[in-house]
Amino acid sequence: MALKDPVRVRSVQPGDLAEVIGIDAGITGMRKPDYWSEILQRYGSGRRRQRFFLVAEAGGRIEGFAIGEVRDWEYGMPPCGWVFAIGVRPDARLAGIGTRLLDAICAGFRRLGVTTVRTILARDNSLILSFFRSQGLMAAPFIALEKDLER
């Protein structure tokens, strides 16, 4: 799909939050305004040096978002970039929005001297898995473990 207007990737602004919430709700089926307000405070205020909250805008409409940060020495590994979330409006997919967002966040990581980017996703999320694989991300040498604390 091609968009009529040029796409600009930029740092999030508080006025973008309603559209980001809408994009996320369209993807996940859940509206989480409190969660997104906290994310805006943590990642969007003043674009802190190692934290990124980017949006892709075209024709005055937010088409997608990406959130990530540089983490230092987690799991004994040198600093690397982590992408926590990336989302694109379903009607704007295949227009290169996700690629533009990932490229922009990776450029931010590179400026900070990072040479590796990582993410974690649900095993059954084939859409986002296909996207990340198309961008060159591959399985990492880690295994995610969890424990249900309610049992």
pLDDT tens digits for range 68-118: 999 987 777 889 999 999 999 999 999 999 999 999 999 999 999 999 999
7-134: CATH topology is Aminopeptidase (3.40.630)
Element (H, E) at 11: strand 7-11
CA-closest candidate to residue 56, choices 117, 107, 119, 11: 11
Element (H, E) at 62: strand 61-71
CA-closest candidate to residue 56, choices 101, 21, 111: 101
Residues 123-139: what's their mean pLDDT?
94
Q: Give the model's pLDDT for residue 142.
A: 85
**pLDDT at position 1 over 70:** no
Q: Give the model's pLDDT for residue 2.
A: 65
